[in-house]
Amino acid sequence: MSIDMTQFHGVFFEESFEGLEIMETELLELDFNDPGEEEINKIFRAAHSIKGGSGSFGFNEITDFTHVLETLLDEVRAGKHQLTKEEVNLLLTSVDCLRDMLSAARDKTEMDEEHIQSVQNELEKALGNKPFAKEENIDSNDSEDEKSSGSGWQIKFIPHHSIFQTGNDPLRMFRELEEFAEITTEINIDKLPPFNEYDLEECYLSWDLTLTTDVDEDHVREVFEWVEDECDLTIAQIESEQTNETKESELIKETEAATERRESRDRRKTDRRSGASTESSSIRVNTDKIDALINMVGELVITQSMLGQFGEEFDINNIDKLNEGLKQLERNTRELQENVMQIRMLPISFSFNRFPRLVHDLSSKLNKKIELKLSGESTELDKTVMEKIGDPLVHLVRNSLDHGIEMPADRIAAGKPETGTIHLNAYHEGGNIVIDIEDDGAGLNKERILSKAIERGIVKEGETLSDQQINALIFHAGFSTAEVVSNVSGRGVGMDVVKRNIHDLGGAVEVKSEEGKGSVFTIRLPLTLAILDGQLIRVGSQTYIVPLISIIESLQMKSESTKSIAGDAEVYSLREDYIPILRLHSVFNINCDSTKLDDGLLVVVEAEGQKVGLFVDDLLAQQQVVIKSLETNYKKVEGVSGATILGDGTVAMILDVTSLISLYREEAEFNKSSFINTEAA
């Protein structure tokens, strides 16, 4: 009887990815001048396990690649080969290549054979062997002499749509080419969409470049090495007038092949994104959590059995026992809920583990010396939250690397150690998880931020802002004070996206900074996206839920503390602070008990550093509610983030405080404009 080996693939891939994490961690900490025996053995064992498993399951490409990698590691641990810094970086690149190969094998997509072969050839060179080349890639008529001869190069450069989002600029590369070659440029606008569909963060153009130069191909390719994963690039030699037509035909064929490879890579990336649930569909759970859950289910069964007896022989004299049984059921249900939620909780180290490699690679590219410190790695949060917080964290760390930490010479001149520090810290606070990204760099230049904001019309000339409000300006869409656009950041594309993504998770982000000393970005997130601690409020016959995390206080209003300003705007004087009043009955166009402010209550909420008072009829209970997506089941509604079903079966809307504040701002601007126009008339 044959055994279906595919049933074991899931375990193989999971263990292989864990092995790659071990390899990457050990390589980043490896002293290549004096590598420790145990560290090398760990790396070797991980590679050996991947090689053995891939061979058993018939993943021959992975087996062949890992064999070369394993051979190099074996020579290192035997003392026959001394690693260099460049070879350690090559081993890290090999880990990346293996990760892509395993992902492709798992998702049943095509592997990038060209990249795999390139990395494998580099490993062969490190071993002192002649690089292996597939026969189909060898052209017997293409000698090195022929490659270096000719009058120039024909280049077809097709950037991927996302190239701007990675901080790259084609114009800078063209200028670099002009330094050693006469260049002719033709632009292709065939893929330019209609104006109303245009996305400023996307690139829709491509270029045909003709270089008249004797520079060899390696120098030309070096200009594009920063974007090799962000474009389709074909380079063909211009030899003579007689062969131009042939070369053009070859260029078209090569371009078509490159396009096909790009589309294959894009499909593979899309498949991996859509298959993310497949990758993360399993979760390792401590047996203690499983045991606690089983015990809780046992308690629940006992309670259900006890309550079932009352249904068979109900006696009014047993009402006290029935009430006790219902209380016990409530306790069991709450504990069961907590235990189930604990199963989904994972340590944030799963998210932090990517940053040592990120800091290592970017600090090398930026020629900076940076030390990464991690703390609070055991802090747990919901798996779904962790998956969605990854990209915002990456952007904030990259921002600290590029704009925060100064160059070593500048740090020494400022009296600082030449090595900068980035500290990631996670901890629980008030039922939420807090993540701090702290650096000891240059800090935010508040004068430059304010000047840029005035220049762009975000802030009016002469307007007074607090430090916190000035710092918050960096989260405006497209806002950037970078004097030079780097390959890492500086286009203003990202900080607004970071804020939006964190807000979509029900969280908030703020920044504190001291010029010359550094900055701290603080992210506050709910522990889970499934359950919310909320305050029930009533407006007329409708019940709404305000997240407790947003509420500052609730109070009965006094008429003498209420004032009207330009237009119909109202504010409430509270301890030397003026709180704008937002009437919920007006926002949602519903009837309320009374429009007189003295008859209602004010719920003061805060988001993004701004407070607003919600005028409501009554405060009801506080309770945990299960969040249901309103957009999925109905459509997006301004001012509402979701819905829940209350104990009596009615549906209650969960208020989106940030969105409500935005609505207030829009209404206030409209009222102010109307007021000014009326006064002028």
- Statement to judge: residues 554 and 640 lie in one domain: yes
**pLDDT bucket at 40, cuts 50 / 70 / 90:** confident
Q: Active site residue: 24, 26, 70, 230, which one? A: 70
Q: In this structure, is residue 644 part of a structural domain? A: yes
Among this protein's residues, is 70 annotated catalytic?
yes
pLDDT of residue 431: 67
> Considering the domain boundaries, does residue 65 fall inside one?
yes
Residue 254: its pLDDT value, please? 56
Closest CA to 440 of 412, 405, 481, 469: 405
Q: Please return the burial class of 416, using the count of CB atoms within 10 Å of its CB with bins 0-12, 13-18 and 19+.
A: buried
| Model pLDDT for residues 189-205, shown as the tens digit of each residue | 888 888 777 887 788 89
Question: 405: pLDDT confidence band, cut at 50, 70 and 90?
Answer: very high
What is the structure's pLDDT at 231?
Answer: 87
SS3 content of the chain, % helix, strand, coil (to 5): 50, 20, 30
Q: Is residue 204 part of a domain?
A: yes
CB 664 within 8 A of CB 612: yes
Catalytic choice (24, 26, 48, 160): 48
Domain end point (choices 230, 251, 276): 276
Active-site choice (168, 332, 339, 399): 399
Of 79, 109, 134, which residue constitutes the final position of a domain?
134
Res 251: pLDDT: 53
246: pLDDT confidence band, cut at 50, 70 and 90?
low
The b-or-e profile of 307-340 (16+ CB within 10 A means b, else e) is eeeeeeeeeeeeeeebeebeebbeebeebbeebe
Task: Express each pLDDT in 203-244 by its tens digit.
Answer: 889 999 888 887 778 778 878 877 887 888 888 887 654 445
Terminal alpha carbon distance of the chain: 93
Closest residue by Cα to residue 173 from 230, 124, 134: 230
In a shared domain, residues 165 and 107: no
Under the banding of pLDDT at 50, 70 and 90, the label for residue 681 is: very low
pLDDT attached to residue 568: 66
Nearest one of 666, 659, 380 to 503, comparing CA atoms: 659
- 76-90, 217-231, 255-269, 417-431: least confident range: 255-269
Instruction: Tell me, yes or no, whether 292 and 314 share the same domain.
Output: yes
- State the pLDDT at residue 137: 42
Render pLDDT for 463-501 as a digit per residue (tens, 0 to 9). 778 888 888 888 887 776 655 555 555 444 468 888 888
User: 553: number of CA atoms within 13 Å, CB side?
Assistant: 6
Same domain? 10 vs 82: yes
467, 518: one domain: yes
Query: Which pLDDT score is estimated for 242?
Result: 45
pLDDT tens-digit series, residues 616-647: 999 998 888 888 877 777 777 888 888 888 87
Q: State the angle between helix axes of 9-28 and 85-107 in degrees (0 to 180), rounded to the nearest 10.
A: 160
pLDDT band at 56 (very low <50, low <70, confident <90, very high): confident
**Are residues 480 and 619 located together in one domain of the fold?**
no
In this structure, are 499 and 352 located in the same domain? yes
Q: What is the mean pLDDT of residues 539-546?
A: 92
Last residue of a domain, one of 217, 248, 276: 276
Residue 305 lies in a domain: yes
Does the annotation mark 9 as catalytic? no
Domain of 21, in residue numbers: 5-134
Q: Do 64 and 198 belong together in one domain?
A: no
Q: Are residues 116 and 54 in the same domain?
A: yes
Residues 315-369: pLDDT tens digits?
777 788 888 888 888 888 878 877 887 787 888 888 898 899 889 888 888 899 9
Confidence of residue 536 (pLDDT cuts 50, 70, 90): very high
What is the CATH number for 34? 1.20.120.160
Domain count, the chain: 5
148-153-156 Cα angle (round to 5): 135
As a whole number, mean pLDDT of residues 84-104 equals 91
Alpha carbon distance 444, 589 (integer Å): 43
- In this structure, is residue 281 part of a structural domain? no
Do 470 and 418 fall into the same domain?
yes
- Is 152 a member of any domain? yes
Are residues 204 and 124 located together in one domain of the fold? no
Is 121 in the active site? no
Q: Is residue 222 part of a domain?
A: yes
* CATH code for position 236: 3.30.70.260
Shared-domain flag, residues 398 and 476: yes
Upper half-sphere CA count for residue 68 (Cβ side, 13 Å): 28
Instruction: Over range 16-27, report the average pLDDT.
Output: 90
Contact 206, 265 (CB under 8 A): no
* 68 close to 120: Cβ distance less than 8 angstroms: yes
List the one residue out of 485, 464, 472 whose CA is nearest residue 519.
472
For position 279, what pLDDT does the model report? 43
pLDDT in tens, 172-183: 788 778 877 778
Q: What is the pLDDT of residue 483?
A: 57
On average, the pLDDT of the chain sits at 80
How are beta strands 531-539 and 542-547 bridged, if at all?
A: antiparallel
* pLDDT tens-digit map of 62-82: 988 998 898 888 888 888 888
**How would you classify residue 150: left for phi > 0, otherwise alpha for psi between -120 and 50, otherwise beta?**
left
Asked whether the predicted pLDDT for residue 422 surpasses 90, the reply is: yes
pLDDT tens for residues 455-472?
888 888 877 788 888 888
Task: Give the span between the Cα atoms of 486 and 30, in whole angstroms.
Answer: 29
549 part of a folded domain: yes
Question: Tell me, what CATH number does 454's domain have?
Answer: 3.30.565.10
| Cβ 414 vs Cβ 378: under 8 Å | no
